[in-house]
Amino acid sequence: MLKDITIGQYFAGDSLIHRLDPRIKLILTMLYIAMVFIPTNPAGLIAVALFVVACYGVSGISLSTVRRSLKPILPIVVFTTILNIFFIEGRVLVNLGFVQITYEGLLVSALMVLRIVCLIAGTSLLTYTTSPIALTDAIERLFAPMRRIGVPVHELAMMMTIALRFIPTLIEETDKIMAAQKARGADMESGGLVDRVRALIPILVPLFVSAFRRALDLATAMECRCYRGGEGRTRMRQMQLMPRDMVALVVTVAGLAGVIMLNGWLPSVYG
Amino acid sequence: MDNIIQTEGLSFRYEGSDTLALNNITLSIERGSFVAVLGHNGSGKSTLAKHFNAILTPTEGSCHIDGIDTREQDRLYDIRRRVGMVFQNPDNQIVATLVEEDVAFGLENLGVEPQEIRRRVDQALEVVGMEAFKLHAPHQLSGGQKQRVAIAGVLAMRTECIVFDEPTAMLDPRGRAEVMEAMKHLNRNHGVTVVLITHFMDEAAQCDRVVVMDSGSVVLDDSPERVFTQIGALRSLGLDVPQVTEFADLMRRSGINLPEGILTEEACVAEIEKLLTARQ
C-alpha cells in the first residue's frame, strides 16, 4: 500500500520532455499552475486537460500512473465536491429537503474536480520526467541570486536532495517495521480513530530512531567525500538552454494565452 | 615515503569515557598492500579506521597519512582525497538519487571540471562493473551493487587508499563475494591500497596481511598463514579461524599429515589430493 505513493518518483526516459532543461521545466510548471487557476468555466479546464494529456503523450508516461498519484488525494476531491454540490445556491435541480443540488453547484464542483486533477497530473509530470537531483539542481540555480539576500539556497537544495533520496528507503523501512510489529501482535486495522493513531506510535518511534542513525552515518559519509557546503563546488551535469527549451516555452506561453482568451469568451460559473 | 598510513603510539579516548578505545597503536600500512584488520565487536577496529581519514584524531600519539598529520585541520581535504572510506550500511552512504550522480558527488565537492568528472565517473563505474546501472536509482539495486557504487564514488576521487569498514556485514553471501572481488580487483589491477576492517575470517584470509586487534591494542600482525595457524591465540581472543584451517588442524591432530597454513578450500583440496596420490 505504501508503494503506491508515486509523488516525487522519477521515471527514467529519453522523451522530449525528459530532455528539456529542468530550469525551463520549473518555469513551465509555474506557467501551467497559472493556466489551471485561470479558467472559470469547466470547458476552459477541459482545454487545459487536453494540453496535459498531450504532454503525457509526448513524455511516454502512461496516464494510469496519474491515477495512482491521484488516489491519496481522492478524499479531498470527494469532500470539496460534496461541499460544492450542496452548498452553492442557484437553480435547484434536486431537492432533498434539508439540502438541495443546484445546477451552479454541479458546475462549480466539476470545475473544482477538474482543477485538482489537472493540477496534480500536470505538476506530477515535472517530477516524473525530471530526476529529483536535476530538479533540486534547477531550483538551486534558478534561485541562486537569492543567496545575496541571505537565503541558504545550496543548503535547501541539498536537504531536498537527501529527503528525496531517502523517501524510498524510509518507506521500505516503514513496511518492515509494520510487518515486525504485526508479527508481535500489533493491531493496526481495527478500532476507532484514536486507537489507530495510537497504533502508529510503535511504528513511528523506531522509524525516527533509525532515521536519526541514518542521518549521522550519511553526514560522516558526506564528510569523507570532502563535502563542505556549496562553495567551490562544481557539477557534473551542466545546464544549457537548447532550441527545444525555447520551443517548449513558446508553446506553453501560447497555451496560457489561449486559455486566457478562451476564458474571456466562456461564461464564468461564478456568475 | 613507502607507507601511506603511519601511526605512532596512537591512543584514543571517546569523550566522557574512562577507558582508552585505542591504546598505543604503532602501525604502518604500506602503499599498494591489502591489509585486513580483524577483531570482535568493541575491539577498536572501527575506531582505528576512523583515524585513517581524520574523522577522529588521536588523543595521544600521532597518525600520518602520506606524511600529513591528521591533526592539521587545514589539510583535512588533502587527507580525505588520499584515503577514502566505504561504510557498513550501503544505504546510508549514497547521497544522490541516481547512481552516476552519486559517484560524481565527491568530485563535485573537490571542484573538478565537469568534463573531467564525467570521464572519471564513467571510468570508476566501469572498474566496479556498474556502468550498466548508471541511470538507476539506488533503491533499485541490491546490497552488493550499492556497495560497488559506494566504492566507485571513492575510486572516482582517485584516492590512493580505501578503508572498508565492514563493507559486507549487511550483505548476503552473493553480495559479499561481489564486494570482495571488487576490492581484490582494485588492489591488484589499480594499485589501490586496501584496508579491510572485518570480522569475517575467510575475508581476512584473502588479504596479504592480517592485523588482529583486541581491546584497543594490536595483538597479532602477520601474514594470514601465520596468523591463522595460531588457533589457540585466536580462540582466546574470541575469534574463529577459517573453517578450512580448523578442518586441517583437526585432521592434523588425528594423525593426517596436512601442512599448516591452509586458508582456502582450493588449497585444502589440493593438499588432500596430494596425500591420497602419495598413499596409492
Pick from B92, B98, B137: which is nearest to A217 by CB?
A: B92
pLDDT at position B266 over 70:
yes
B273: exposed, middle or buried (Cβ count in 10 Å: 0-12, 13-18, 19+): exposed
- ipTM score assigned to the predicted complex: 0.85
Residue A5 reports pLDDT greater than 70:
no
- Please report whether residue B172 resides in a domain: yes
How many structural domains is chain B composed of?
Answer: 1
Does residue B82 surpass a pLDDT of 90? Answer: yes
pLDDT tens sequence across A51-87 = 999 999 999 888 888 888 788 888 888 888 888 888 7
Q: Which residues of B134-167 are buried (b: 16+ CB within 10 A; e: fewer)?
A: bebbbbebebbbbbbbbbbbbbbbbbbbbbbbbb
Which chain A residues touch B if contact means CB-CB below 8 Å?
Answer: 10, 12, 131-133, 161-162, 164-165, 168-169, 172, 213-214, 217-218, 220-228, 232-238
Chain B nearest-CA distance from A12, in A, is 7
Mutate to test the interface with B, among A169, A216, A224 (most CBs of B within 10 A): A224
The residue segments making up the domain with residue B201 are 3-223
At A114, list the grid cell. Answer: 477538474
In a domain, B258, yes or no: no
**CATH code at position B186:** 3.40.50.300
pLDDT at position B2 is 83
In a domain, B93, yes or no: yes
- Whether pLDDT at A2 is above 70: no
Q: How confident is the model at residue B234 (pLDDT cuts 50, 70, 90)?
A: confident
Residue B256 lies in a domain: no
Grid coordinates representing B170?
549487511
Residue B230 lies in a domain: no
Whether B274 is in a domain gets the answer: no
Cα distance between residue B271 and residue A90, in whole Å: 97
- The predicted structure's pLDDT at residue B145: 94
Mean pLDDT of chain B: 91
> Higher pLDDT residue, B115 or A90?
B115
pLDDT at A82: 85
Q: What is the pLDDT of residues A213-241, one digit of tens each?
A: 999 999 999 999 999 888 888 888 888 88
pLDDT of amino acid A8: 54
Position B130 pLDDT exceeds 90: yes
pLDDT at position B197 over 50 = yes
